[in-house]
Structure 1
Amino acid sequence: MTDKFFDLTRRTFLDRVLMASAGGVMATATPWVAMAAGAETAGAGKVRLGVIGTGDRGRALIQNIAKTRNCMVAALCDTYAPNLAKARQWVAAGTPEFSDHRAMLDTRGLDAVVIATPLHRHAQHTFDAMDAGLHVWCEKAMARTIADCGAMVERARTRGKVLQIGHQRMFHPTYLNALRRVKAGEIGPVTQIRASWHRNNAWRRPVPADSDDRRINWRLYRESSAGLMTELATHQLQVGNWFLDAVPTRVIGSGSICFWKDGREVYDHVALIYEYAGGRKVIYTSLLNNARYGCEEQVQGSKGTIEPELGRIYQEVPHRALALQRMQADVKRGHKRTIPIGGATWFPELPVTTPGESLGWGEYDETMLQFEGFGEAVRKGKALPGLLQQAYYASVASLLGEQAMDKGEAMTWPTSLVTV
């Protein structure tokens, strides 16, 4: 596929990705694309969403929902009034507002809810919404504990409701193209994925006079978050599982508060190795005091490397033959030629700097596209296949990594997970 391929209109996006993903392997890897691509939207009413949590992330989601063909925000809920006030500009005038999510659920008139609250509230908000007969789209990570992640899966099954988690990379055309090319064998067998999410800021937000630090900076406290592992790493651990088509067998890691010594309880620097069958590995790092390498993944095979976050694919560059090696080969085959006296006998193994090839880039935000997929799932009353499994395993991997760092020992993949 070329860059021109990704000059997409919203109407044709899913159909064209489906065409590009044709084949048994890709159909297994991205089954949600096939279901969403066959959606019929003409004449259908929009799916009515109630948004629980209208902070920075919640408002970003509201803006993306407004761009969809098939969804609309029909109610807002937040316990913090200033957040509700900021969200009003992105919804229709007169959209109902609530400070209690149960009151919003009791009013009926909704098809589903969007949960963008602090991590430790995800499970309860999901339970309450499904018990009220509603489908759920929830931000990643799924929940604060592995047990709660499993309970969310079970509740969706027993209530017969769609539960979709916000892993938008699975709707990103560049990532879908990268996965297609990996599955086609273009970079050879993948044995290692390096992923990082590096920033240079305290990750601390100013606290207004009418609030408190644990409400505003909930990501920095263990009760409500695992910090870098649940707020950032889950995205890239999902990518690792997806491209390796497996879950880890175990994880080892080290975490520390080594720079921002400001009373936070979560690590500001983590480094982990996730081991997979066959010796394959995902090496993950995240830190908050250096942004040089930013957010990236490097999918490494014997024939090349794919960097989906940067939208590039690189072929392996053949090794240069050293002067002595060339002379040795010449002697064996009786070939004579001039030998450069100053020829290199050793080359430093520096990073390869070839420009690579573009993987293409989509016109529309993948967050908007995943809501279009969610809207179709709600209409049909049937989850897009494969999405929840990806999200569940990514959340488990992130929380298992936290345990490995806390205990200072390798943690094996749990055998008691619910079936997805």
Structure 2
Amino acid sequence: MKNTLISRREFLKNMGVLGAGVLLSASPWLSAFSEVVETSNEKCRLAIIGPGSRGRFLMSFLIQNPKVDIVALCDIYQPSIDEGLKLAPKAKVYKDYRKILEDKTIDAVLVATPLNSHCQIVLDAFDAGKHVFCEKTIGFTMEECYRIYSKHISTGKIFFTGQQRLFDPRYIKTMEMIHAGTFGEIGAIRTFWNRNGDWRREVPSPDLERQINWRLYREYSKGLMTELACHQLQIGSWALQKLPEKVMGHGAITYWKDGREVYDNVSCIYVFDDGVKMTFDSVISNKFYGLEEQIMGSLGTVEPEKGKYYFESVPPAPGFLQMINDWENKVFDSLPFAGTSWAPETANENKGEFILGERPKSDGTSLLLEAFVEAVITRKQPKRIAEEGYYASMLCLLGDQALQEERVLYFPDEYKINYLNHQAKTPEAV
């Protein structure tokens, strides 16, 4: 697959970010791009801890950046190392990530290992003076996430998480429109991510089952909540600029009864203080509806993944249909019907408008990685980017806990940090 590395200058020009205070207030992490700093002669010496499928996907963008030198690869699985070397043939190879942290010439690490191993690697990296990019979800538990974020604060090191939608032009423009009141008062947010597949990977020998298919076992992963929901729940807090207060839901294994320990379908409801609800649903035995976030306001609806929005008021039906509808209303107006029995639904006729005129070529991954590199080189942590990743991780873990315990859970006060309008304590050093 050929990946497109989008120029940040082109991105900012297309988004109208330069000089756009409103947009930067909604996406303050774009300060990594809006503040022009000459770094063309600088290099980020980067180590990849976990060059598996996701790690190599990120590498495919990084190797296109002339400011990046991938100098080290670390993995306990040799085939991943072999594939990683095809992208970074000059990189040194390690089996123990702690050896990488001993190298004083390495500026930063990218962590793309199984979820249960994130915390210790990231904490050790911060202690070794490294900047960190950690794939979502950042921790295996809420307590781990808090420790990671606290260490980021206490060390002052750059910290990014794999929330690429933060740099996706569709989502950035969507949030600008939402916060400007374009769609009125937001009343509900529906998110879903559906697939049709067992989520398994080929295993060369039985003893490698859990190592390769770690996403299917509770010892290593929380399944759909940590692998998929983490992206979409961040969209809700970004849109409403606050956190939900509580969550409830249900999860089960209903189709892929193959020995897996994580659910193959989940449904969560997150409730905000004003009663607004955000749902997350995922089924991996039917892909018809795919993935989307539907943000519904009193004046319109926006679907950022499609890059489209729809206003509630649409042009009237064509003349003939309008005439028929009027006739039907007149004939049956004395009967206790709620409305016409077959009038066309406007939602089906409303084809909407594209947010940016056309679908962007990137989902934000290349720009997220470029921003990380710029932050490492300039030693400037963009505002709120660590906090967005932190809360996205916390929300999906709280949701998973609600599924496991089958009860309503409230967001713990002890894990609230300074974010938007929240009054909360600053994390203490771990």
TM over 0.5: yes
What residue in structure 2 maps to residue 174 of structure 1?
A: 170
TM-score in terms of structure 2 length: 0.87
State how far apart, in whole Å, the 1-side matches of 2:111 and 2:362 are. 22
Residue 312 (structure 1) aligned to one of 308, 311, 321:
308
- 1:83 CA drift (Å): 0.5
Structure 1: tracts of 5 or more residues without a match: 1-6, 329-342
Q: Counterparts of 1:380-419 in structure 2 under 5 Å?
A: 380-419=378-417
- 1:382 CA drift (Å): 2.5
Q: Counterparts of 1:67-78 in structure 2 under 5 Å?
A: 67-78=64-75
What residue in structure 1 maps to residue 222 of structure 2?
A: 226
Q: Counterparts of 1:9-408 in structure 2 under 5 Å?
A: 10-16=7-13, 19-20=16-17, 24-91=21-88, 93-209=89-205, 211-317=207-313, 323=326, 344=340, 347=343, 349=345, 351-360=347-356, 361-364=359-362, 366-408=364-406
Give a deviation string over 1:169-204, Cα, whole Å, max 9, x none: 000111111111112222111111111100000011
Which sits farther off after the overlay, 184-193 or 136-145? 184-193
Which sits farther off after the overlay, 242-251 or 373-382? 373-382
* Distance verdict in 2 for CA 1:9–1:105, change over 3 Å: closer
- 1:67 CA drift (Å): 2.1
8 Å contact 1:178–1:306 — kept in the other structure?
A: yes
8 Å contact 1:70–1:372 — kept in the other structure?
A: no
* Distance verdict in 2 for CA 1:362–1:38, change over 3 Å: farther
State how far apart, in whole Å, the 1-side matches of 2:49 and 2:39 are. 28
8 Å contact 1:18–1:34 — kept in the other structure?
A: no
Q: Secondary structure at the match of 1:347?
A: coil
TM-score in terms of structure 1 length: 0.89
State how far apart, in whole Å, the 2-side matches of 1:350 and 1:412 are. 38
* Distance verdict in 2 for CA 1:380–1:18, change over 3 Å: farther
Give a deviation string over 1:338-366, Cα, whole Å, max 9, x none: xxxxx956637574242211123334452
State how far apart, in whole Å, the 2-side matches of 1:273 and 1:324 are. 42
8 Å contact 2:187–2:276 — kept in the other structure?
A: yes
Give the RMSD, CA atoms, in angstroms: 2.5
State how far apart, in whole Å, the 1-side matches of 2:123 and 2:233 are. 25
- Report the identity percentage: 38
State how far apart, in whole Å, the 2-side matches of 1:326 and 1:200 are. 44
8 Å contact 1:36–1:384 — kept in the other structure?
A: no
Q: Secondary structure at the match of 1:129?
A: helix
- 1:287 CA drift (Å): 1.1
- 1:32 CA drift (Å): 1.1
State how far apart, in whole Å, the 1-side matches of 2:154 and 2:279 are. 36
